[in-house]
Structure 1
């Protein structure tokens, strides 16, 4: 019985490690098109801080375009200055959502950055 309890405790602690949330974020400057991103952070705040810091320091309007937990985010821009962002459980879905969001603002759009909460 003791062996079973120890095994259960070990499995429970391993599952907790495997199921830990990871966060990422993408920051974007509409005026300069600068971009910064982050991944593999324990919380949203840290992910956003690093993404902003990685955005061009001369761009005063860098802001968080998207944050994501246990998934992926993307930013797309259009040829008329519009932009959009989206998230998904994988990079392909995040990009598709970003383009859909961007097209609500402008015509044709292209993804300029996508990132997952774990580096892929």
Structure 2
């Protein structure tokens, strides 16, 4: 029984030594190992006994080309046309007008809205007998809700509907 008590007290005292709250792990034997210099743990690394300076984080900028979408509309006929995933705003506007005008049958069309690296949806609602159009421009999955919100909340129209589902022109990574 005395041996068992001796073993238990020995284990308990070992546990107290290891769990010492004043022990600083940054000053232990591993942190003085020169093999750990590359990880920045050893303050004694460096030439001529000088301490190692922390490396600055290198920021790498990756240029991802923007994508554009545009929507053109003929205000007399209400017909529209659009362009998606264009490399420039000018190209998106030109393509949207060409699509809207349908070879001259629906001329003249004007750019109603354009988006860079985002999404677009269109909602319509009737106010005092006239159709009103609302454009929702937002992030992926939010443009339709944005268009309906503008129709309902901003204008106070009770019966709004999405007339053009969400379309997105987003950069490809």
TM-score (norm: length of structure 2): 0.51
Moved more, 97-106 or 50-59: 97-106
Instruction: Measure, in 2, the Cα distance between the counterparts of 1:65 and 1:77.
Output: 14
Query: Which among 100, 116, 120 is matched to residue 168 of structure 2?
Result: 116
Residue 14 of structure 2: aligned partner? none
* Corresponding residue to 1:22 among 52, 56, 67: 67
For 2:72 and 2:145, how far apart are their aligned partners in 1? 18
Moved over 4 A (4+): none
Distance 1:89 1:96 in 2: 11
Per the alignment, residue 59 of structure 1 pairs with 106
Cα shift at 1:106: 4.2
Q: Is the CA contact (8 Å cut-off) linking 2:119 and 2:143 kept in structure 1?
A: yes
Q: Deviations over 1:18-76 (max 9, x none)?
A: x1111111122343231211111111121111111111443345322221111111121
Of structures 1 and 2, the larger Rg is shown by 2
Q: Which has the higher contact order (CA 8 A, sep 6+)?
A: 1
Q: Which runs of no fewer than 5 residues in structure 2 stay unpaired?
A: 1-59
CA distance in 1: counterparts of 2:157 and 2:135, whole angstroms: 13
The answer to whether the Cα contact below 8 Å between 2:97 and 2:110 also exists between their aligned partners in 1 is: yes
**SS of match in other structure, 2:142:** helix
Structure 1 residue runs without a partner (length 5+): 1-10
Between Structure 1 and Structure 2, the one with more strand by share is: 1
1:99 aligns with 2:144: no
Q: How many residues matched?
A: 105
Q: Distance in 1 between matches of 2:110 and 2:149?
A: 20
Q: TM-score, normalised by structure 1?
A: 0.70
